Amino acid sequence: MPNNDQNVNITLRFDDDSLGIISYVALGNTRLGKEHIEIFGDNCKVVNDNLRMAELGKNRKVTKVKSRGKGHREEVQASVSALKEDNPSPIPFESLVLTTFTILKIKEPFCKNLPIDVIYSEGITKNSES
């Protein structure tokens, strides 16, 4: 019997009223890829299968891109390089803070199985005394 604590649907509404929908599902055959990502917008569709192969469909054209990995090595290399050369982080600090904040807010109602609204204020990533 599946553990429902490992299955969740998350709907994110952005400032421009667009939606992001994340379905995390621990069900299924373990011999198939674990990660499947679909992105739709601006008359375009991107499908990423297990972070190994992606297809981009736009203007009646489909482009396929294969990857040798998930990008972890490249992300670490870019971060180390930025530190050594005193360049900005490849991932903006604000993005890291907002991602962490969202994950923590999503986990909050899990034990109660309730929906939650996450609202960001303008100064969430700025130092403040409030």
pLDDT digits (tens, 9 = 90+) for 107-119: 776 666 666 666 6
In a domain, 104, yes or no: yes
User: Which parts of the chain fold into alpha helices (H)?
Assistant: 72-84, 93-107
Q: Which pair of tokens denotes residue 88? A: 């900005």
In a domain, 77, yes or no: yes
Task: Tell me the residue ranges of DSSP E strands in 14-117.
Answer: 19-24, 36-41, 44-49, 53-58, 61-66
Taking the model in full, what pTM does it have? 0.60
In a domain, 67, yes or no: yes
Evaluate whether 50 touches 35 at the Cβ level (below 8 Å). Answer: yes
In a domain, 75, yes or no: yes
In a domain, 8, yes or no: no
**Which of the 8 DSSP states describes residue 22?**
E
Count of domains forming the chain = 1
Residue 45: pLDDT band with limits 50, 70, 90: very high
Domain holding 75: CATH number?
A: 3.30.360.10
In a domain, 118, yes or no: no
The Cα-based distances of 62 to 15, 27, 35, 46, 65 in angstroms read 30, 30, 21, 9, 10
In a domain, 55, yes or no: yes
pLDDT at 128: 37
In a domain, 103, yes or no: yes
pLDDT digits (tens, 9 = 90+) for 50-108: 888 899 999 889 999 987 777 788 889 999 999 999 999 999 988 889 888 888 877 77
| Structural domain of 43 | 31-112
